[in-house]
Amino acid sequence: METISVIGLDLAKNVFQVHCADEKGCCLQSKALRRAQLLQFFAMLKPCLVGMEACGSSHYWARQLQMLGHDVRLMAPQYVKAYVKTNKNDAADAEAICEAVTRPGMRFVDIKTEEQQAILLLHRDREGLTRDRTALINRLRATLAEFGVVTPTGPQRLKHWFQEDYSHYGTALSALVQRQVERMRTRLRGLDGEIAALDVEIDLTSRSNEACQRLEAVPSIGRLTASALVATVGKGQSFKSGRQFAAWLGLVPRQHSSGGKSRLLGISKRGDGYLRRMLIHGARAVIRHMNPKRSVTGWLAQLSARTHHNVVIVALANKLARIAWAMQYRERTYSEALVAGQR
């Protein structure tokens, strides 16, 4: 029997599809496995190359298969799609994964540790709670506006308004409306408490992580951005340069070029939108409070004189991303000379 060299594994909740091929790419076996059978199947095989699409449970299964001695590689689903030859089904997807993982130009996703996944879980939960709080605030302001009460925007300003000015308007509202407003305020206080608790957890993990402490020395990179960077990209070894990392974040122009004519559009917005948004917000804060002693200030002033304000913000976010990658990849501490080298 031919030796299995490459396996394409299509992940699911309960039924998994495997496509096994030899070193020449010829199919040796294609079958579906139940969840309880998956590790037993791979335990009986000699170490081989296993390809999977990067998805919710892929990092867990990658760590399990690595412990069995297999070489596991994760790929973005959009890179695998081009290798699907027929209609979409589990068998065709597994075959496409098996072929894609052997391509020399394929880009792979780093396998995250349990600690990285746990930190990202905190960030995702915090992001979801923040969206819920924003939606609740909008409903609360709309409820009061229905009765002619105009409230300020923003969580902190709204909280201050309720403490100082709500009593002047509350007595004019009906008892039913007052009870509803109070119920919404109770839910809002609960969301604020949950977000504050997650902030404490993220702060504790950042303090105990040396890489996070290094990144927090960079202007505009706080504990949230630092911990998200470390949890998402680790040491950045999957990127060849800071330029490639910035392109992965979508902080570079999108191209639509043909026939030797180059046409650059807006930023591509590919990659991790959460990281990109935090870096852009951080860049906006640096520009708003420019420190003349920093080496980047002169570059920002020159750039602001000849281009749009939003372009300057994205350019600085691009620079910050490249600085963060260099610090992670080379395990260096922040210095103004490093900023000058990224110009």
Split at pLDDT 50, 70, 90, the class of 160 is very high
The candidate with the shortest Cα–Cα distance to 7, out of 22, 258, 304, is 22
Residue 204 pLDDT:
92
Q: What percent of the chain has pLDDT over 70?
A: 97
The more confidently predicted of residues 266 and 195 is: 195
Amino acid at position 271, single letter:
G
What H or E segment, with its residue span, contains residue 79?
A: helix 77-80
Residues contacting residue 281 through CB under 8 Å, at least 6 positions apart: none
Mean predicted confidence (pLDDT) in 313-331: 90
Instruction: Give dist(CA 208, CA 226) in Å, integer.
Output: 12
What mean pLDDT is predicted for residues 31-37? 94
pLDDT recorded at residue 85: 87
Mean pLDDT of the chain, nearest integer = 89
Beta-strand relationship, 264-267 and 15-21? unpaired
Q: Which CATH superfamily groups domain 6-109?
A: ATPase, nucleotide binding domain (3.30.420.40)
Query: Is the pLDDT assigned to residue 313 strictly greater than 70?
Result: yes
What tens digit of pLDDT does each residue of 293-302 get?
777 777 788 8
Domain boundaries, the chain: 6-109, 114-207, 215-256+265-341
Question: Is 66:72 a contact under the CB 8 Å cutoff?
Answer: yes
Round to whole Å and give the CA distance between 135 and 256: 37
pLDDT given at position 1: 47
As a whole number, mean pLDDT of residues 265-270 equals 80
Question: In angstroms, how far is CA 34 from the centroid of its own chain?
Answer: 31
For 56, phi then psi, to 5°, come to -60, -45
pLDDT at residue 343 in the model: 46
CA-based diameter of the chain, in Å?
A: 85
Strand partners, 30: 19
pLDDT at 32 over 50: yes
Condensed to tens digits (0 to 9), the pLDDT of residues 178-197 reads: 999 999 999 999 999 999 99
Q: What is the pLDDT of residues 215-244, one digit of tens each?
A: 998 888 989 999 999 999 888 888 888 899
The predicted structure's pLDDT at residue 336: 67
Task: Please report the pLDDT score of residue 7 as a whole number.
Answer: 95
Answer whether 198's CB lies under 8 Å from 126's CB: yes
pLDDT at position 112: 92
Q: Provide mean pLDDT across the span 127-133.
A: 96
- Determine the straight-line distance between the first and last CA of the chain, rounded to whole angstroms: 58
Stretch 155-171: mean pLDDT? 87
| Phi, psi (deg, nearest 5) at residue 31 | -155, 160
Q: Judge residue 192's burial from the number of C-beta atoms within 10 Å of its C-beta, 0-12 exposed, 13-18 middle, 19 or more buried.
A: middle
pLDDT digit string (tens) for 102-117? 999 898 988 999 999 9
